[in-house]
Structure 1
Amino acid sequence: MVEFLASNSLARILVLATLFALIVGVAMLLMGAISRRAVVKSDLRTLVEARGPSGTAGLRKRQDDAWSRLVDRIERAGLTLEDTKSDRLRDKLVAAGYDSPAAPRVYTLIRLVLVIALPTAYVGLSLLGGAELSFFKLYLFGSIAALVGLYAPALWLRAKADRRTEAIINGFPDSLDLMLVCVEAGLGLEAALDRVGREMASSHPLISKLLTTVTLQLRAGASRETALRKMAAAARVEEISSFATLLIQSDKLGTSIAQTLRVYSAEMRERRRMRAEEKAHRIPVLISIPLVTCMLPVMIGVLMLPAAIRVVRQLLPAMGGE
């Protein structure tokens, strides 16, 4: 058979075409299965989002339970994941949106894994690439990889907290306007919070979660002051804290909640406009940095190069001749 294929070019072409067709068919089947799986995952994600905060909370609760079981198994094996500054770490995690009780231990576990995995990956890739590993290279690059694994989660956590704070601040004036409409339509504060929380589940999910949590606490029997202060503590945003304090004072003094919401909403929008103007005024300063770094050396070179060439060609030979 092998000799026949070696001597007959047509048979070789037919065999190669058959192999090519088989490979293409298998690849198409795999791509179809992967695409169907992606469609199913997208449909499931759409269903979860359509169910609102309850569906998203249920999915997140299952994920938190899985992480909790993982860290519990690791701690039962003898490795302690408690941080020495657990209170400050928990505050940072809550500010970033991770309010699970197991979040500090999971964070410590991730940092520990990265500190070990990144230097190990560097050594493995160097050995596979055939590079020679001296003690100095191993110490230097291994230390750099370990430092990256130690501090990268903290930087990522800070960036996530900043994005969460910005999202809450940008969406909170809209929720105040909706709340004002609900209150002026005759709804009470609890009903207004519930309605606004359900309406903003898609546009501003973070604010929707805060308002829904307040509503559930009020229905569970907590006082209005306690629920609002817990909302401010969970948000870790100055505007939310001021809003909670304002509602508490209005409730104690008996002033109109609608008037309070109208004044505070206007103030929040004015603050957002001032922040936008501040960012706009910073643009010329930020643009000057790449201009000075990239364009100024080129301009200096273009202006000075003809003079330098003339000095080299005429002035230096004349000085040498004297």
Structure 2
Amino acid sequence: MVDIKLIFLVFGLFISLSVAYYSLKVFDKTKANISTKKIIDSTQEKTPFTDKLTVQLSRLSFNKEETKNNLVRAGIHSDFIAQAYYLLKIIPLVFCLAFIGYFYLQGYLEFLSAFVAFLISLLVCLIVPDMYISSKGNANIRHVSSRLPFLLDLMNVCVHTGMTLEASLDYLSNELKTVDENLAYVVKKTSERAKIVGLDRALAEFYDLVPTTEAQSFVMTLTQSLKYGSSVGAVLASLASDIREINMLNLEEKIGKMGAKMSIPMIAFIMVPIVVLIAAPGIMRMLG
């Protein structure tokens, strides 16, 4: 018992020293930045408190690009959450471990119960958020991919009114906010990148945001149309029709698989009780 208590005490001391070290490190950097600004007498406008807090949190985060991309795919576009994502997971875990260690040292929990609580804390604080964000991101990708025919129809209307593809993307990025926020965000990102790196590169990055076969067809078709100068309106209309047919075929395939999937619950919940009802009278007579 004494050895286990010592292990918890050493573990708590290690966590406390680590938190204190990183806190002092951040404090020193912040103090140095403030001193530098005072020396050069900066005349820049005051930044909001949230921006300052985001800058401070960025020093405590890692895997920034990957985390931000995963959150964006899940529909979370806040820079503050992206910078504080790991802190939002680690801080509750530290509190849970502190409570578990306290209750164990006080004798309210046995070692097995404390170990199970420790594993549950790790699961809830570290693994469950990543699983939720991953599943939400995959769901959003499928949703945006299913809305591509709608986007293509709107782009076709804009092109027929005399707008270019860049202008139509810029216009639709604002109009789609009231209809579909995730689709509007992807279109807005594509429009912003098209102004900087060109439409070809922006379309390639569109596929990075929505990595599906429908998005790949969308990107390749528009790229080929821009490269060889074919009619964009006809291409958009035919592509929207093709993607709708693909979605319909996928839906029919899922419906076809539904019968095989329903056979297992039918056997478990229908056939087994019927067998019991048929065999029960004979068994009762034999026992009687």
Structure 1 stretches of 4+ with a deviation exceeding 6 A read 121-124
Segments of structure 1 that go 5 or more residues without pairing to the other structure are 1-61, 314-322
Q: Paired residue for 1:312?
A: 287
- Residue identity over aligned pairs, in percent, reads 22
Aligned to 2:157: 181
2:278 is aligned, of 303, 308, 318, to 303
The Cα shift of 1:181 comes to 1.9
TM-superposed deviation, 1:269: 0.5
Match of 2:257 in 1: 282
State the one-letter code of the partner of 2:147: G
User: Is the Cα–Cα contact under 8 Å of residues 145 and 210 in structure 2 kept in the other structure?
Assistant: no
Selected match of 2:134 from 140, 158, 167: 158
Describe the shift of the 1:185–1:87 C-alpha distance in structure 2 as closer, same or farther (beyond 3 A).
closer
Question: Are the structure 2 counterparts of residues 113 and 236 from structure 1 closer, same or farther at C-alpha, using a change threshold of 3 Å?
Answer: farther
Counterpart AA for 1:252:
K
1:193 aligns with 2:179: no
Paired with 2:172 and 2:281, the residues of 1 have a C-alpha distance of 69
Aligned equivalent of 2:121, options 119, 136, 145: 145
Query: Residues 278-317 of structure 1: CA distance to partner in whole angstroms, max 9, x if unpaired?
Result: 222233233333333333432232222212211211xxxx
How far apart are 1:264 and its partner, in Å?
1.0
Equivalent residue letter for 2:278: L
Where does the alignment leave 5 or more consecutive residues of structure 2 unmatched?
1-47
Aligned equivalent of 2:70: 92
* Count of residues in correspondence between the two structures: 240
Which string of whole-angstrom CA distances, capped at 9 and with x for unpartnered residues, describes residues 109-151 of structure 1?
A: 2332343345566788x89xxx952111111232233223221
Q: Does the CA-based 8 Å contact 1:233-1:241 persist in structure 2?
A: no
Residue number among 229, 251, 255 corresponding to 2:226 in the alignment? 251
Flag the 1:120–1:310 CA change in 2: closer, same or farther, 3 A. Answer: farther
Q: In the alignment, what sits opposite 1:13? A: none
Alpha-carbon deviation of 1:226?
A: 2.2
Instruction: Give the aligned partner of residue 111 of structure 2.
Output: 135
Q: What secondary structure is seen at the aligned counterpart in 1 of 2:178?
A: coil
**Does the C-alpha gap of structure 1 residues 285 and 64 become closer, same or farther in structure 2, counting only changes over 3 Å?**
farther
- CA–CA separation in structure 1 for the residues paired with 2:175 and 2:124: 42
Partner of 1:227: 202
CA gap of 1:147–1:205, structure 2 versus 1, over 3 A, is closer
The one-letter amino acid paired with 1:224 is: L
Report the equivalent of 2:61.
81
Give the greater-gyration-radius structure (CA): 1
Distance 2:72 2:217 in 1: 19
Normalised to the residue count of structure 1, the TM-score between the two structures is 0.63
Judged with a 3 Å threshold, the aligned counterparts in structure 2 of structure 1 residues 301 and 136 are, in CA distance, closer, same or farther, namely: same
Counterpart-to-counterpart distance in 2, 1:291 and 1:235: 38
